[in-house]
Structure 1
């Protein structure tokens, strides 16, 4: 399960329906062009929190059918509705996904015992492994070393997608739990996380920058830090331009320039203006 995983985008048509052919093209591009080790399906980048349970299932089915056994698959099933999360956990387990992941429950200010119960409930009766998805900036949920340790007491919880800038905590986690999988979640900090010996990374920009990300990770592992730093610099230039122009919209348009029908974002996300559309194309021409 180690390596680089793309936080997979989903292709939607103008009405917000899943574009199956476009989704299959995004999957193939990530495997055949970006050459990532796996796909993280229905995460934030897949606009997961804007779609229905049935749409989530449809995406899980299409991706598994397209991938087969070519790369590893993680299914993000986390939801404020723990019944939905449990249902999806069973659904993807039956489909043959390699692991599930679940974002910490958000919006309501859940205490740690409630968060712990959420994860244990999702895993009840399901023969699978789970990666915690920790992203405090968006969920408002921060956990300390001891709390991660309590969650790891459940043998089915095998690691964490660590999307936080607290690299002191990251180092402490790596030292305290050498047998747990730790994935970096901030693409712009991949080199710094790699130096701390993470097991891999899961990133949005890997949809268009997977090759560079893999180079950074591989070079850092072999101690070639100066080379890795140069590629991280180019990567961060790209990320800066993407963020300034509109994250998901720009990545989708960059994929479109490569012949991948990545489609539209779902409302309430807005579409790119003509000016930003042209900017997205120029970013693609510059970096792809």
Structure 2
């Protein structure tokens, strides 16, 4: 049984891109501007320092500075989830404690990076993080990057911890969402990870989603969520199809994160720099970027 009120964790959460200056150094002022832009658009919340936020490419101090900046900008205005996953449990605990001190609404973590661990080790890793803070904890299941797909057995073990409030499930097998929701119960939050299947995830029982392509086009995902809540499934299906082809185009650039940042710059006027190497840069002056940005804005303008 989850000990927290989880009602605020429903809906669309933008996975926040990292922000750098021209020299590739962390730019917290631009990060604040970006967070405020999302607030102005009506986004429900932000997921900070996750995969899209290049969390594993930031130093611990940069990650701390990022979450501090976001909380200063939109704390109390948006729901803030902070990813604290790290190579070591010690570092993850340190990041979780700092995030709690900044005022985040929840923390989240992948099971491990680089090393392959037993399920006992993964359980101990997550439980140790939850013991360090008094915050809801969201498991982050992303097997395509970690090499581990959360099993039913370990999931049921983790549900014995009352601080485990939900899961961000980025596994591309949609029916796993239904399993997690059924086992977790009504107050347990399941957030869809694969943007290509937001509609499928919601129909399978997800309570909302966190996504890396929400950033350049959050209005489309918010409208998709609105259609789903209203039971207008055919409208939702058509919009999901449109989003799907935008995602394909974003993924056609040298890096999706670079394309995200380029389109965000064109749409918001906020320059959050290029992604950190080894992710490749994408220019906002690339004609294909400009064309995609224009097509996204046309789709937004056509929403009913």
Give the structure-2-normalised TM-score: 0.90
Partners of 1:106 and 1:141 within 8 A in 2: no
Structure 1 residue ranges without an equivalent (≥5)? none
Q: Is it true that 1:60 corresponds to 2:60 in the alignment? A: no
Q: For residue 199 of structure 1, what is the aligned residue in structure 2? A: 207
Superposition CA RMSD, Å:
1.4
Partners of 1:7 and 1:202 within 8 A in 2: yes
- Which residues in structure 2 correspond to 1:128-207 (within 5 Å)? 128-178=135-185, 179-207=187-215
Distance 1:172 1:2 in 2: 18
Partners of 1:22 and 1:263 within 8 A in 2: no
The secondary structure found in structure 2 opposite 1:208 is coil
Distance 2:150 2:274 in 1: 35
Structure 2 residue ranges without an equivalent (≥5)? 1-8, 298-304
Q: For residue 278 of structure 2, what is the aligned residue in structure 1? A: 268
- Which residues in structure 2 correspond to 1:214-225 (within 5 Å)? 214-225=222-233
Deviation at 1:273, TM superposition (A): 6.3
Deviation at 1:72, TM superposition (A): 0.5
Partners of 1:86 and 1:122 within 8 A in 2: yes
Deviations 1:74-130 (A, max 9, x none): 010011121111011111111111000111113211010000000011122311110
The structure 2 residue matched to 1:230, chosen from 213, 226, 238, is 238
The secondary structure found in structure 2 opposite 1:44 is coil
Between 182-191 and 163-172, the greater mean CA deviation after superposition: 163-172
Distance 2:21 2:27 in 1: 6
User: CA distance change for structure 1 residues 146 and 218 in 2, over 3 Å: closer, same or farther?
Assistant: farther
User: CA distance change for structure 1 residues 172 and 209 in 2, over 3 Å: closer, same or farther?
Assistant: same
User: CA distance change for structure 1 residues 273 and 39 in 2, over 3 Å: closer, same or farther?
Assistant: closer
Give the structure-1-normalised TM-score: 0.95
The secondary structure found in structure 2 opposite 1:116 is helix
Deviations 1:180-216 (A, max 9, x none): 1000001110000111121110011111221111221
Distance 2:283 2:83 in 1: 31
Structure 1 segments of 4+ aligned residues over 2 angstroms from their partners: none
Distance 1:273 1:10 in 2: 16
Distance 1:205 1:32 in 2: 18
Deviations 1:143-170 (A, max 9, x none): 2222211111111111100001222222
Partners of 1:123 and 1:156 within 8 A in 2: yes
